[in-house]
Amino acid sequence: MTAVFNKPSVAVVGGGWAGCAAALTLAEAGIAVTLFEASRTLGGRARAVELEGQPLDNGQHILLGAYEQTLQLIARLHPAAVHESLWRLPLTVEQPPDFKLACPRLPAPLHLLVGLLGARGLSWGEKLTAARWAHALIHGREPVEGSVSRLTRSQPEKLRTLLWHPLCVSALNTPPDIASARIFRDVIRAAFGGRNHHSDLLLPRRDLTALFPAPAAARLIELGGTVRLACRVASLNAAADAVTLGTRDETTAYSHAILAVAPQHLPALATQVPALEALGREVASYDYQPIATGYVQYDPAVRLAKPLFALADGPAQFVFDRGQSHGQQGLLAFVASAAANLSADWLDQAEAQLQRIVHPGPARWRKHIVEKQATYSCVPGMARPAVCTAHPRIFLAGDYTAGPYPATLESAVQSGVQSARTLLERL
Ligand SMILES: Cc1cc2nc3c(=O)[nH]c(=O)nc-3n(C[C@H](O)[C@H](O)[C@H](O)COP(=O)(O)OP(=O)(O)OC[C@H]3O[C@@H](n4cnc5c(N)ncnc54)[C@H](O)[C@@H]3O)c2cc1C
């Protein structure tokens, strides 16, 4: 099919955070947009699910104060009540009874250095070593290569196990032995090298679909766009003057397309377009890391002393109190990142880890979700494609495209906005 378009009309394939950010950016620029999402719920890997009649998420998420693009869009979509959507907390990593790091409200990176010097559970020698090392990492000019384990090898073992390696696993979802030192350094710089609020932790207070994808889609519709849920794009054809997408029900031509699917789903579409075959092969070579989230409902009176705690000695690294963040009293969420060797009884083990913090009594119900391909392995030298492809009418968006962050909400949203802006510049 060939088509000549008087006005651009763009198909965005994939209604995760990247696709929603791309579609919203285009619609706000006056472009006719159709957003296709294969599932019934928007949000992709950061979406709402219902379990035991409760609105939950397919994975407990946390945002950083440095996620500027994401936070800007959320604030724009929830103008009156952004604090009702996100709960901002100064960075604290607390792992009772062994460790506590709290960053005071001082200019960056002084807040980290003072936090490290005041940390509980470290000797003075360890505190000074950590502070010197963090300062050099944030301000150093020499290139950083290899794995995070290699990067941290000069640090005392206690600092590696209590601080740097848990930070690596939670930020990159990749074990330190294989995780990219460069991306880890970039995350530490983004969180601690800019403004002091960049290291804040932001806890969602509503489900993840309601936080951004649903209001973005509502705005898109207000602006005349179309959202097609439960509508998988199965075929992709690209000519010099149009891109044609096929779903189960119809085949439609658009002037351009943004492919905002996860990297594991890209090759199925990319290999249908000769110009994208090499891209499809490159992305098909990625490895993935799982993340498990366990929800445990205790007596509604159960409440942690803080909305989240770090947990020692695996399998879970964090426990969140959804009573405090979401008003779901007595409901705790355990998170195990880079969870490749998770045993079947991991939630029993996570509950045992919790005993160091609180004795909540018996669980009323427990559910867990294991996302086997939660994120790509963020390894040194991995090829991350640009948002432009070898076909001038097809663009990419997603957490795996080239950018400063590992697979996160911010990398997805930044990529969606950048993809849309690049498309607009080329019209
Ligand atoms: C359990 C878990 C915990 C996480 N925790 C954090 C965290 O705390 N902080 C953080 O910043 N990040 C976290 N992440 C990472 C974050 O969720 C992702 O980086 C981000 O959501 C990726 O968004 P995306 O839009 O690039 O991709 P996706 O979310 O994968 O979206 C792609 C969408 O495309 C759709 N799709 C695929 N193929 C087609 C097709 N052919 N037609 C139509 N639609 C299609 C899919 O259904 C999906 O909705 C976590 C991820 C997981 C899984």
What is the crossing angle of helices 68-77 and 17-28, to 10°?
A: 60
Give the pLDDT mean for 295-305: 98
The whole-number pLDDT of residue 1 equals: 44
Q: What is the mean pLDDT of residues 367-391?
A: 97
Report the chain's terminal Cα–Cα distance, integer Å. Answer: 21
* Residue type, position 93, single letter: V
* Per-residue pLDDT, 290: 98
pLDDT at 106: 86
Report pLDDT for 3.
64
Q: What is the mean pLDDT of residues 252-265?
A: 98
Tens digit of each residue's pLDDT (9 = 90 or more) over 12-45? 999 999 999 999 999 999 999 999 999 999 999 9
Q: How far apart are CA 421 and CA 386, in angstroms?
A: 13
CA–CA distance, 416 with 393 (Å, rounded to integer): 16
Q: Residue 376's closest CA among 341, 397, 400, 398?
A: 400
Pair 156, 116: CB distance under 8 Å: no
Query: Which of 39-48, 109-118, 352-361, 386-395 has the lowest average pLDDT?
Result: 109-118
Q: How far is the CA of 407 from the centre of ligand 1 (A)?
A: 9
19 C-alpha vs ligand 1 centroid, how far in Å?
10
Q: Which of 27-36, 74-83, 129-138 has the lowest mean pLDDT?
A: 74-83
* Distance from residue 373's CA to the centre of ligand 1 (Å): 10
Where does ligand 1 bind, in terms of residues with CB under 6 Å? 13-19, 36-39, 44-46, 59, 61-62, 232-233, 260-262, 265, 291, 293, 371, 374-375, 398-399, 407-409, 412
348-361 per-residue burial string, b: 16 or more CB within 10 A, e: under 16: ebbbebbeebbebe
Q: What is the pLDDT of residue 133?
A: 92
Does pLDDT of 2 surpass 60? no
Instruction: Determine the longest span between alpha carbons in the chain, in angstroms.
Output: 71
| Cis, bond preceding 107 (omega within 30 deg of 0) | no
Query: In which order are the strands placed within the sheet that holds 235-238?
Result: 235-238, 243-246, 251-254
What is the average per-residue pLDDT within 194-202? 90
User: Which residue has the least CA distance to atom 11 on ligand 1?
Assistant: 408
**Closest ligand 1 atom to the C-alpha of 170?**
8
Q: What is the mean pLDDT of residues 89-95?
A: 90
Structure token pair of residue 274: 């000769």
Amino acid at 251: T
pLDDT at 409 > cutoff 60: yes
- Peptide bond connecting 404 to the previous residue in cis, omega within 30 degrees of 0: no
Q: What is the mean pLDDT of residues 260-269?
A: 98
Q: Best substitution site from 67, 174, 261, 293 to test ligand 1's pocket, by max atoms within 8 Å of Cβ?
A: 261
What percent of the chain has a predicted confidence (pLDDT) above 70? 99
Contact 66, 198 (CB under 8 A): yes
How far is 138 from 188, CA to CA, in rounded Å?
Answer: 7
Tell me the pLDDT of the chain averaged across its residues: 95
CB 144 within 8 A of CB 182: yes
Question: In a mutational test of the pocket of ligand 1, which residue from 41, 45, 370 has the highest number of ligand atoms less than 8 Å from its CB?
Answer: 45
Does residue 400 surpass a pLDDT of 80?
yes
Q: Report d(CA 357, CA 368) in Å as an integer.
A: 21
Q: What is the mean pLDDT of residues 341-351?
A: 96
Mean per-residue pLDDT, 291-315:
96
Give residues with Cβ within 8 angstroms of 400, minimum separation 6: 262, 263, 283, 286, 376, 384, 385, 407, 411
Whether the pLDDT of residue 78 is over 90: the answer is no
Query: pLDDT category, 320, cuts 50, 70, 90?
Result: very high
Q: Give me the phi and psi of 173, to 5 degrees please.
A: 50, 45
Name the pairing type of β-strands 86-89 and 226-228: unpaired
Q: Specify the pTM.
A: 0.97
